[in-house]
Amino acid sequence: MTTLTDPPKEHFRLSMLLYDTRYRSATIQVIALIGFMLLAAWIISNTIQNLEALGKPVEFGFFGEPASYDINQRLLEYTSRDSHLRAAFIGLLNTLVVAVLGCITATIVGVLVGVLRLSNNWLVARIMTVYVEMFRNVPVLLWIVLAMAILIEGLPAPNAFRGDNPTATMDLFNSVAVTNRGVYIPEFLFSRGLGDIHLFGASSIRFNVSLDLVAFLVVLGGSIFAMRKISGWAAAKQEATGDRPTIWHIQLGVLFVPMIILLTVLGFHLGYPELKGFNFKGGTHMRNSLIALWLALSLYTAAFIAEIVRAGILAISKGQTEAASALGLRPGRTMRLVILPQALRVIIPPMISNYLNLTKNSSLAIAVGYMDITGTLGGITMNQTGRELECVLLLMLVYLCISLSISAVMNWYNNRVKLVER
Partner 1 sequence: MKKSVILGMATVAGLAAGAAAAGTVDDIKARGKLNCGVTTGLVGFAAPDANGEWKGFDVSLCRAVAAAVLGDASAVEFVPTTGKTRFTALASGEIDMLARNTTWTFSRDVDLKFEFTGVNYYDGQGFMVPKALGVTSAKELDGATVCIQTGTTTELNLADFFRSNNISYEPVPIETNAEAQQQYLAGACDVYTTDASGLAATRATFEDPSAHVLLPEIISKEPLGPLVRHGDHEWGDVVRWTLNALVSAEELGVTSANIDEMSAGTDNPEVNRLLGTEGTLGEMLGLDANWAANAIKAGGNYGEIFATNIGEETPIGLARGLNAQWTDGGLLYSPPFR
Q: Return residues touching partner 1 (CB under 8 A).
A: 31, 35, 38-39, 42, 46, 50, 53-56, 68-72, 79-81, 152-153, 157-159, 180-181, 276-279, 281, 288-289, 366-367, 369, 371, 375, 379-380, 383-386, 388
Find the shortest distance in angstroms from Cβ 33 to partner 1.
11
The residues, any chain, with a CB within 8 Å of residue 348's CB and separated by 6 or more, are 410, 413, 414, 417, 418
344 or 367, CB closer to partner 1? Answer: 367
Helix pair angle (288-314, 84-117), 10° resolution: 40
The DSSP result for 270-295, as a single string, is EEPPEEETTEEESSEEEEHHHHHHHH
Pairing status of strand 182-185 against strand 177-179: antiparallel
17 or 247, CB closer to partner 1? Answer: 17
Find the shortest distance in angstroms from Cβ 206 to partner 1.
20
The DSSP result for 89-152, as a single string, is HHHHHHHHHHHHHHHHHHHHHHHHHHHHHT-S-HHHHHHHHHHHHHHHTS-HHHHHHHHHHHHH
90 or 371, CB closer to partner 1? Answer: 371
With b for 16 or more beta-carbon neighbours within 10 A and e for fewer, the 238-268 pattern comes to eeeeeeeeebeebbeebeeeebeebbeebeb
79 or 174, CB closer to partner 1? Answer: 79
E-state strands within 225-349: 268-271, 274-276, 279-281, 284-287
157 or 213, CB closer to partner 1? Answer: 157
Find the shortest distance in angstroms from Cβ 291 to partner 1.
12
Nearest to 312 by CA among 347, 364, 282, 280: 347
Nearest to 287 by CA among 159, 98, 80, 143: 98
154 or 201, CB closer to partner 1? Answer: 154
Separation of alpha carbons 92 and 399, rounded Å: 9
Separation of alpha carbons 262 and 218, rounded Å: 11
Find the shortest distance in angstroms from Cβ 401 to partner 1.
24
Find the shortest distance in angstroms from Cβ 2 to partner 1.
50
72 or 238, CB closer to partner 1? Answer: 72
Amino acid identity at 138: V
Nearest to 89 by CA among 394, 377, 289, 290: 377
299 or 368, CB closer to partner 1? Answer: 368
Find the shortest distance in angstroms from Cβ 244 to partner 1.
56
279 or 407, CB closer to partner 1? Answer: 279
Contact present, 361 and 354 (Cβ < 8 Å): no
40 or 314, CB closer to partner 1? Answer: 40
Angle at CA 78, nearest 5°, toward 74 and 80? 115
The residues, any chain, with a CB within 8 Å of residue 377's CB and separated by 6 or more, are 84, 87, 88, 91, 92, 391, 394, 395, 398
Find the shortest distance in angstroms from Cβ 273 to partner 1.
13
Find the shortest distance in angstroms from Cβ 184 to partner 1.
12
Separation of alpha carbons 337 and 343, rounded Å: 11
Find the shortest distance in angstroms from Cβ 397 to partner 1.
20
Find the shortest distance in angstroms from Cβ 50 to partner 1.
7
Separation of alpha carbons 226 and 241, rounded Å: 22
